[in-house]
Structure 1
Amino acid sequence: MKLLIVEDDLMMGAGLQAALKNAGFDAHWVTDGRAALELLTESFFRIAVLDISLPGLDGLSLLKQLRANGSSVPVLMLTARDTTRDKVMCFEAGADDFLVKTTDMDELIARLRALVRRAGYVGRICVGNLTLDSDTLVVTKDGKLLNLSNREFDLLRVLMEGAGQVISRSRLEESVFGSSRSSDSNVLEVHIHNLRQKIGETNLKTVRGVGYTLTKP
């Protein structure tokens, strides 16, 4: 599942990203509050780990703007501040959980998974004859296993989560390629073409000039 870490301490951020990736999260990391707000507003993340003291935009202001924009993404505040007042301020701003940075990593991971479950995350998605399991990275069509590349799996996951809706090219590119997006506009089309061959031509439609949509029965 896609997770955003917002932490300006380079050693702490790198350590968190490595540990969370090892725990199975698709962990992305930024060091600036404004960059984090843009990502959380425009991209698809299941959950965020947010520090309070940040350059550009502090964590509490970021969280308040995020909630004011209508976002319900679960946010865990991870900070060196540990007073009752700090906790109250975080929860009043819209935080879902609060931990101090001395917390054991196993507890952090357990709390993140609990937040995602509470938010209604379902590891298995079914759309028509397609079933995708985000935990085992398995996709089946009519019960038969499909052999997808990592990019194809990520594309299909985003499309299945938004089945019946038109998903823009930019959102697909950001969700699948992240900051490593290629300047070659044909890269996405190549992956879409290959995915179509595997899931069926009629399941995945192009909305010219906008993006793509996965047919929802």
Structure 2
Amino acid sequence: MRILLVEDDHHLAVSLSEALAAQRYTVDVAYDGAVAWQHMTLLPYDLMLLDVTLPLVDGLTLCQRLRSHGVSSPVLMLTARDTSTDKVAGLDAGADAYMVKPFDLSELIAQIRALLRRGQMTPPTTLQWGDLELNPATYDVTYQETPIRLTPKEFAILELLMRHGRRVLSRHFILESIWHLEDPPGEETVKAHLKALRQKLKQAGAHRHFIETVHGLGYRLMAV
């Protein structure tokens, strides 16, 4: 799941992004409304955390723009103003929920999970490709019922491949889908993670070409 955090308090933004990353979310951070809008037009987000008071473009205007462009992803507004008028303004702008600073981190994460569940058309289900099974909700991966231990990035790459099946995914696409926009690694990082992932799949009994390399284009799962 990819989240956009828009918060002009750098200390709070760093703390929140680290806490969300620990929950296995991919988090992009913007410190003003103009940069946030660039991110929103560049990538689809599963959820957006918007501070109300932002430089250049405020959170309410951002939320209104999103809704006017047909974006239905959940929006959670963050604000230091705790009045019914402010809450009504946020909800009228198209926000799905409203949290007042200072807030409890565990409550924020619980609210995010609830909004993500609500925003999904269907509940998370186990993904399957041949004898490989991956559960996005529990982070369990098995091949022929043999458990496979994966790092968070290996898990994210495998989930991405399984959701796209035989579609070829370039290294650039994998980077954009999984890593942060602010400091993405080089494409060799994707290659290294794929090498480790292939090795773990092979050890569990999968074919050594379970993840195929389509030379010059990218990667996909082998036909089953």
Q: TM tier, shorter chain?
A: 0.7 to 0.9
For 2:222 and 2:81, how far apart are their aligned partners in 1? 48
The 5 A counterparts of 1:47-58 are: 47-58=47-58
Please tell me whether residue 161 in structure 1 is matched to residue 163 in structure 2: yes
Report the CA distance shift for 1:66/1:171 in structure 2 as closer, same or farther (over 3 A).
farther
Secondary structure of 1:76's match?
strand
Q: CA deviation at 1:50?
A: 0.9
Please tell me whether residue 181 in structure 1 is matched to residue 184 in structure 2: yes
1:131 aligned partner: 133
Alignment-mate amino acid for residue 172 of structure 1: I
Q: CA deviation at 1:95?
A: 1.2
Q: CA deviation at 1:152?
A: 1.8
1:60 aligned partner: 60
Match among 142, 147, 150 for residue 148 of structure 1: 150
5+ unaligned residues in a row in structure 2: which ranges?
A: none
For 1:214 and 1:45, how far apart are their aligned partners in 2? 25
Alignment-mate amino acid for residue 204 of structure 1: I
Please tell me whether residue 103 in structure 1 is matched to residue 103 in structure 2: yes
For 2:55 and 2:7, how far apart are their aligned partners in 1? 10
Alignment-mate amino acid for residue 4 of structure 1: L
Q: Contact 1:5/1:27 (CA < 8 Å) preserved in 2?
A: no
Alignment-mate amino acid for residue 172 of structure 2: S
Q: Contact 2:26/2:179 (CA < 8 Å) preserved in 1?
A: no
Q: CA deviation at 1:115?
A: 0.9
Match among 189, 196, 211 for residue 204 of structure 1: 211
Structure 2 length normalisation: TM-score? 0.76
Alignment-mate amino acid for residue 53 of structure 1: T
Cα offsets for 1:128-186 (capped at 9, x unmatched): 23222345433111211224344322211222334454444323112333233234x43
For 1:159 and 1:43, how far apart are their aligned partners in 2? 18
5+ unaligned residues in a row in structure 1: which ranges?
A: none
1:26 aligned partner: 25
- Mean CA deviation greater in 123-132 or 13-22: 13-22
Cα offsets for 1:13-58 (capped at 9, x unmatched): 2343344455x25363331223323334434543221101212322
CA-based RMSD of the aligned residues comes to 3.1
Q: CA deviation at 1:100?
A: 1.5
Report the CA distance shift for 1:141/1:76 in structure 2 as closer, same or farther (over 3 A).
same
Alignment-mate amino acid for residue 126 of structure 1: L
Report the CA distance shift for 1:162/1:79 in structure 2 as closer, same or farther (over 3 A).
farther
Report the CA distance shift for 1:172/1:38 in structure 2 as closer, same or farther (over 3 A).
farther
For 1:161 and 1:207, how far apart are their aligned partners in 2? 18
Report the CA distance shift for 1:161/1:47 in structure 2 as closer, same or farther (over 3 A).
farther
Alignment-mate amino acid for residue 38 of structure 1: Q
The 5 A counterparts of 1:85-104 are: 85-104=85-104
- Mean CA deviation greater in 159-168 or 207-216: 207-216
